[in-house]
Amino acid sequence: MERKEKVNERKTSRGRQRIEIKKIEKETARQVAFTKRRQGVMKKASELAALCGAEVVIVTIS
Amino acid sequence: MERKEKVNERKTSRGRQRIEIKKIEKETARQVAFTKRRQGVMKKASELAALCGAEVVIVTIS
DNA sequence: TACTCTATATTTAGTGC
DNA sequence: GGCACTAAATATAGAGT
């Protein structure tokens, strides 16, 4: 299906919200945050390695 | 000394520029990028750990 | 060398499919 | 559970101190 079909849709997103840095209690939300953020950390780490010729090892448990 | 003294200074920054993800050849620039970005990766990792109750270990060499 | 500042690039919370 | 999207939060390149 079409990627963008914003024709005359109302905005449905309030964009990124600020969150407190404390454990997310809701299981599913925590899982989602973990997936997204692990990806982000990995990307940043790859960039660090590539840009600076450094070795970066990351281990995430759970 | 004062943090902000922008009184009637011209803008001196073009803001964050886009860079290519390849090894930075200039030694000093690479060192600066390494310092800034390692800090950033560490912060992201801490947040991941705090938010998701995960264990994150990062090792950076050089 | 490390820190500050500004403008802009990038990440991601919330939402829908 | 994952992908796509939007808009706001955050990281950071470049320049100055």
Model pLDDT for residues B13-62, shown as the tens digit of each residue: 999 999 999 999 999 999 999 999 999 999 999 999 999 999 999 999 97
* Residue B32: inside a domain: yes
Q: What residues in B contact A61, CB-CB < 8 Å?
A: 54-56
* Residue B4: inside a domain: no
Is it the case that residue A27 has pLDDT exceeding 60? Answer: yes
Query: Which domain range does residue B46 map to?
Result: 25-62
* Residue B12: inside a domain: no
Residues 6+ apart with CB under 8 A from A61: B54, B55, B56
* Residue B39: inside a domain: yes
Q: Which of A41, A43, A46, A61 to substitute to test the interface with B, most B CBs within 10 Å?
A: A41
Model pLDDT for residues A30-56, shown as the tens digit of each residue: 999 999 999 999 999 999 999 999 999
| Whole-structure pTM value | 0.86
- Number of folded domains in chain A? 1
The reply to whether A54 touches chain B by the CB within 8 Å rule is yes
* Residue B53: inside a domain: yes
Closest Cα to residue A62, out of A41, A35, A39, A24?
A35
* Residue B36: inside a domain: yes
Task: Report the distance separating Cα A42 and Cα A19, nearest Å.
Answer: 21
Q: What is the pLDDT of residue B62?
A: 79
* Residue A42: inside a domain: yes
Question: To the nearest whole percent, how much of chain A has pLDDT over 70?
Answer: 82
Nucleotides of D under 7 A from a protein CB: 1-2, 4-17
Is it the case that residue A17 has pLDDT exceeding 90? Answer: yes
* Residue A53: inside a domain: yes
Q: Residue B61 CA to nucleotide C15 C1', Å?
A: 40
